Structure 1
Amino acid sequence: MYPDGKPEYLYQMRMSTQPSPASANVDREKIYQWILELTNPDTREGALFELSKKREVVPDLAPMLWNSFGTTAALLQEIINIYPAINPPTLNAHQSNRVCNALALLQCVASHPETRSQFLLAHIPLFLYPFLHTVSKTRSFEYLRLTSLGVIGALVKTDEQEVITFLLTTEIIPLCLRIMESGSELSKTVATFILQKILLDESGLSYICQTYDRFSHVAMILGKMVLSLAKEPSARLLKHVVRCYLRLSDNPRAREALRQCLPDQLRDTTFNSCLAEDKSTKHWLTQLLKNLDTPGNGADQQVGISPLASQ
């Protein structure tokens, strides 16, 4: 403890985190003070609110949070304190806003290259999974699920192998699939983005296509989403669905299965209006259909995934 009563680690943060141009207009002393206040239950709520607003303009906020004494424990305490409110579902707007501010700070830590590996090694994402299990349609729960998905989305956005390797050891795929089937449009979009990123990794594609059950579950949910999009179009959601299908078509056994079970709506003119203004999705869909129309070779005939896997 230094003479002015402030902990030594705050002085170390001052020495190691020089202000960048983007954060030049931010009062650093206030940032340090709010971080200190996170460890005090009486001042934590206000500090969560203020820091969550500043996370986009303080580039080094993540290492400051992660390396300050007691801060991560305080954020996890905010998450754990909400568990009793999710079953039975009694979560109110105030509770949801407060825990989502804590989640926003964890997303900041998950996004930063200096703290991401440690974030995974500590298995922090697992604390969020109970929120992804919830099914209540109220705004409080939807906001909670969406913000939790945002933390996972921030991890996969980096395209790092260690992130996919970690997620494949967890239940994130079935959790995302359930949200893709029954969530709001925005939650569906983020969940499908996470699945897309997992599929784009070689280990993720191999994992999903390794067994009949895994592939069939993914194909079934994607098929349901296409049917839903045909009734209520969403260009941004369609983009991720098509990209998932295209990536699945890179696997020989999955490609053979998709020849039999790809929804007709992706082959006809159902989505022409969406595709007219989205060249990338149109290109991906054209490539997908080209992949599926290419005659099968020996690899496509391997026994493993049934051609009717999604039925």
Structure 2
Amino acid sequence: MKHSIEGMTNLPQSFSIGAGGGLGGFGGVASPSLVGAVASANNDRNMQSAEQLVLDLTNPELRENALLELSKKRELFQDLAPLLWNSCATIAALLQEIISIYPVLSPPTLTPALSNRVCNALALLQCVASHPDTRMLFLKAHIPLYLYPFLNTTSKSRPFEYLRLTSLGVIGALVKVDDTEVISFLLSTEIIPLCLRTMEMGSELLKTVATFIVQKILLDDVGLDYICTTAERFYAVSRVLENMVGTLAEQPSSRLLKHIIRCYLRLSDNPRACDALRDCLPDILGDTAFQSCLRDDPMTRRWLQQLLHSVNTNRVPLQAGGFDHIL
């Protein structure tokens, strides 16, 4: 489709809509009503195609192709998420795809073909998680919990990396919208330990997505309070962030560093956490090690300056309830 559109933009003026020759040689530009009618017809065709593919999901013989086509074209189908959610047995079919590969997680025998198929199902669940009309229904059904076994895997093979990345994409879609109810649900599960594990052991892209999820949780007041309620939780997060900074000193990644600094800055909003950061904030953040990495990112440079200023000036006495006092 992209190639055909690009080809049309290179047509001679006499063949272009709105040129002197007009549409079909009748002169003038296409009327708004005609353009609207064409767009409406396209939408109708897309919707009919989507409805048929969604029906195919419940047929085991047609499901694999339906998963592939829907995942590839999900941006073209308006209101695909409500259609998926409200169609009979569709979500059950997607969950069946997920559950079916649990046996190959341990020992790790997941093949590329199986990984691609289940990731297509996860892409459709991400669509449901992103839509405002289905997001909370998705949570109330506790569907994210079905993804956690994937995040618990440790195999470095490409099928498993792809599986973990797509699973994190579903969680990332949930937290992109600033919603305390979403954060509260995730905190009632084991999402923080799973993300911390990925931040320690995953590839750069996996680390980036997992750190983004932790960042979005911290940016919510409920999430910040949860992390800073106990010394154990705070030091679990800060220790992983510190290790990641050490790794980035050898293998810089401006995108990942941005999320790490934002996590630290948000932690510094809590008085006890800010006090504790005086002792556990990596010294390397205060020198010139990352200057070149942040050269083209003025916002992250400001975040880092604000972080260093907060940690160096806002010290809370231990008797006021610092983490050292708790320990």
Letter in 2 for 1:279: P
Provide TM-score, normalisation by structure 1: 0.90
SS state at 1:159 partner = coil
Give the whole-Å Cα distance in 2 for the aligned partners of 1:54 and 1:125: 23
Is structure 2 residue 326 aligned with structure 1 residue 294?
no
Aligned pairs, number: 290
The structure whose RCO (Cα within 8 Å, separation 6+) is larger is: 1
Is structure 2 residue 166 aligned with structure 1 residue 152?
no
List, as ranges, runs of 4+ consecutive aligned residues in structure 1 with deviation greater than 2 Å: 19-28, 295-298, 300-304, 306-309
Structure 1 residue 295: Cα displacement: 4.2
1:158-177 aligned within 5 A: 158-177=177-196
Structure 1 residue 306: Cα displacement: 2.4
1:53-92 aligned within 5 A: 53-92=72-111
Give the whole-Å Cα distance in 2 for the aligned partners of 1:234 and 1:21: 44
Give the whole-Å Cα distance in 1 for the aligned partners of 2:309 and 2:248: 22
Structure 1 residue 111: Cα displacement: 0.1
Structure 1 residue 58: Cα displacement: 1.8
Q: Which residue of 1 aligns with 2:21?
A: none
User: Is the contact between residue 199 and residue 205 of structure 1 (CA under 8 Å) also seen in structure 2?
Assistant: yes
Letter in 1 for 2:117: R
Is structure 2 residue 199 aligned with structure 1 residue 180?
yes
SS state at 2:252 partner = coil
Percent of paired sites with the same residue: 64
User: Is the contact between residue 215 and residue 254 of structure 1 (CA under 8 Å) also seen in structure 2?
Assistant: yes
Structure 1 residue 274: Cα displacement: 1.1
Q: Which residue of 1 aligns with 2:133?
A: 114
Is structure 2 residue 288 aligned with structure 1 residue 269?
yes
Q: Which runs of 5+ in 2 are unaligned?
A: 1-37
Letter in 2 for 1:286: Q
Residues 227, 218 of structure 1: alpha-carbon distance in 2 compared, 3 angstrom cutoff: same
User: Is the contact between residue 258 and residue 307 of structure 1 (CA under 8 Å) also seen in structure 2?
Assistant: no
Residues 249, 21 of structure 1: alpha-carbon distance in 2 compared, 3 angstrom cutoff: farther
1:121-140 aligned within 5 A: 121-140=140-159
User: Is the contact between residue 235 and residue 274 of structure 1 (CA under 8 Å) also seen in structure 2?
Assistant: yes
User: Is the contact between residue 260 and residue 308 of structure 1 (CA under 8 Å) also seen in structure 2?
Assistant: no
Q: Which residue of 1 aligns with 2:35?
A: none
Task: Say what the alpha-carbon RMSD is for the aligned residues.
Answer: 1.9
Bigger Rg, which one = 2
Q: Which residue of 2 aligns with 1:216?
A: 235
